[in-house]
């Protein structure tokens, strides 16, 4: 080989190496997998006030060990939903029936030490709303919370905002005169912070569930402008059978939302464009021989999958929602018959899920008696999010009726991963 030929070959080799390097640099790096959660927080009510208080339990996710129990000073809160703030400083939790006992509805725990949450006293309470239900996080580290009822458990309810330091920012809508908030009893909420839009769904008037009253079940969905926290449109799905609307979830980062009803329907709502917005019925679980109730849902972050809890059938359904108008059932997690299936969530790792079976039991004062079997099930799904892994090493059940013999049974409702 002549020196000229060798020089040319060397130059070509360097060009190839450089080009390969540029191609490699242009290719986006694959994001590192999110590790499994360390802790599961379970917010539960004590059934025997003489033995225990309403409490927060810290569960080691890996093996189900209870590593800490944080007792409040209260009984009768009816612990409900909870959520970890986006900056992981706080855990927000609701007391659904606290107003009946003159107790605070909204509760927070400091997560400075995630293994040992500390109850935060003297949090400012809403003045115009009660029956705390859903907690969502704000981008700044605060919370948006639905108050399903008025300060007396009637109507209208409110959406309440807390900032990153747990200061009460406001209760919305501020103007409830005339018919602006008629039948406003928000249960679920989903917020699109980039598009300044929120959707709340009305379930029922809380006070109507007490003995002697006629249940006032709602059929309305509200679209909000979050710049002013005003309701810009009310959508009624009663004509298509939707009643008692429990939950709503944004589909990934799109302008679309799923919402589900007490009566078994799942709807898709595109929030774009001017009113009127017309929801589309995309799935109905009231197949012959089945019963719905308590359709709490959890949409995966990518918007391509969704969990749905069917309380009466004691099932968690896994849907492919890649095509939102045509959800496809992929798999079913069947719990023991009669156990219930209510609050269901997926951890950020995309593999670890949880379902709590207790819904609500109002006792002698109320008409709702849906205690399930008071268990919490941690489960796994496969890497492609196509099926449940029921025999996986990380799957187990915690029975809150028998976990603490000295304290009696607990009713676990709120769950959150960290």
Where residue 289 falls among pLDDT bands split at 50, 70, 90? low
Where residue 391 falls among pLDDT bands split at 50, 70, 90? confident
* Whether 147 contacts 186, CB under 8 Å: yes
The more confident residue out of 354 and 239 is 354
The more confident residue out of 240 and 150 is 150
Question: Quick one: pLDDT at residue 8?
Answer: 39
Question: Quick one: pLDDT at residue 152?
Answer: 93
pLDDT at 294 over 90: no
Question: Quick one: pLDDT at residue 390?
Answer: 83
> What's the whole-number mean pLDDT along residues 15-20?
43
Could you report the per-residue pLDDT of 118-155, keeping only the tens digit for each?
999 999 999 999 999 999 999 999 999 999 999 999 99
pLDDT at 198 over 90: yes
What's the CA gap between 228 and 209, in Å, rounded? 32
Which has the minimum average pLDDT: 31-40, 78-87, 268-277, 291-300?
291-300
Question: Quick one: pLDDT at residue 18?
Answer: 46
pLDDT at 240 over 90: no
Strand runs labelled E in 218-356: 220-225, 230-236, 245-250, 256-261, 265-270, 280-284, 296-299, 305-310, 315-320, 328-334, 343-346, 352-356
Question: Quick one: pLDDT at residue 393?
Answer: 82
pLDDT at 188 over 90: yes
> What's the whole-number mean pLDDT along residues 267-273?
96
Question: Quick one: pLDDT at residue 287?
Answer: 64
> What's the whole-number mean pLDDT along residues 255-264?
93
Q: How far is CA 30 from CA 24, 33, 126, in A?
A: 12, 9, 44
Q: Which of 121, 97, 117 is nearest to 107 (CA)?
A: 121
Question: Quick one: pLDDT at residue 291?
Answer: 61
**Percent of the chain residues past pLDDT 70, beyond the cut:** 92
The whole-model pTM stands at 0.92
> What's the whole-number mean pLDDT along residues 197-226?
96
> What's the whole-number mean pLDDT along residues 35-63?
97
Round the average pLDDT of the chain to a whole number and report it: 92
Question: Where are the domains positioned within the chain?
Answer: 33-417
CATH H-level superfamily of 33-417:
YVTN repeat-like/Quinoprotein amine dehydrogenase (2.130.10.10)
> What's the whole-number mean pLDDT along residues 394-399?
94
Burial readout 46-79 (b: 16 or more C-beta within 10 A, e: otherwise): bbeeeebbbbbbbbebeebeeebbbebebbbbbb
What's the residue count for the chain? 418
């Amino acid at each position: 080989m002549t020196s000229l030929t060798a020089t040319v070959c060397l130059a070509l080799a360097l060009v190839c190496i450089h080009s390969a390097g540029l191609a490699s640099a242009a290719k986006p790096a694959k994001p590192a997998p999110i590790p499994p959660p360390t802790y599961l927080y379970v917010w539960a009510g004590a059934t025997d006030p003489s033995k225990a208080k309403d409490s927060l339990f810290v569960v080691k996710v890996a093996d189900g060990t209870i590593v800490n129990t944080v007792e409040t000073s209260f009984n009768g809160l009816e612990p409900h939903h909870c959520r970890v703030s986006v900056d992981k400083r706080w855990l927000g939790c609701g007391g659904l029936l606290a107003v009946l006992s003159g107790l605070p509805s909204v509760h927070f725990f400091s997560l400075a030490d995630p293994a040992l949450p500390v109850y935060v006293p003297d949090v400012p309470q809403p003045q115009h709303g009660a029956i705390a239900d859903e907690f969502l996080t704000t981008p700044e580290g605060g919370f948006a919370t639905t108050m399903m009822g008025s300060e007396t458990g009637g109507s209208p309810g409110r959406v309440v905002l807390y900032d990153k330091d747990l200061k009460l920012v406001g209760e919305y809508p501020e103007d409830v005169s005339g018919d602006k908030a008629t039948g406003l009893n928000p249960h679920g909420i989903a917020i699109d912070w980039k598009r300044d839009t929120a959707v709340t769904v009305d379930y029922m008037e809380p006070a109507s569930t007490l003995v002697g009253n006629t249940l006032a079940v709602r059929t309305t969905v509200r679209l909000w402008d979050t710049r002013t926290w005003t309701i810009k449109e009310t959508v009624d799905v009663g004509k298509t059978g939707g009643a008692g609307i429990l939950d709503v979830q944004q589909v990934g980062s799109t302008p679309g939302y799923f919402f589900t009803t007490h009566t078994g329907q799942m709807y898709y709502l595109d929030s774009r464009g001017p009113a009127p917005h017309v929801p589309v019925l995309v799935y109905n679980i009231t197949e012959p021989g089945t019963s719905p109730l308590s359709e709490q849902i959890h949409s995966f972050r990518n918007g391509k999958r969704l969990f749905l809890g069917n309380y009466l059938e004691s099932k968690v359904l896994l849907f492919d929602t890649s095509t939102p108008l045509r959800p496809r059932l992929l798999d079913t997690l069947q719990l023991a018959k009669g156990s219930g299936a209510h609050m269901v969530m997926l951890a950020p790792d995309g593999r670890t899920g949880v379902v709590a079976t207790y819904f609500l039991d109002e006792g002698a004062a109320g008409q709702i008696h849906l205690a399930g079997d008071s268990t919490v099930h941690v489960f796994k799904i496969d890497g492609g999010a196509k099926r449940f892994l029921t025999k996986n090493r990380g799957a187990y059940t915690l029975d809150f009726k028998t976990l603490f013999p000295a304290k009696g049974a607990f009713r676990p409702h709120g769950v959150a991963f960290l």
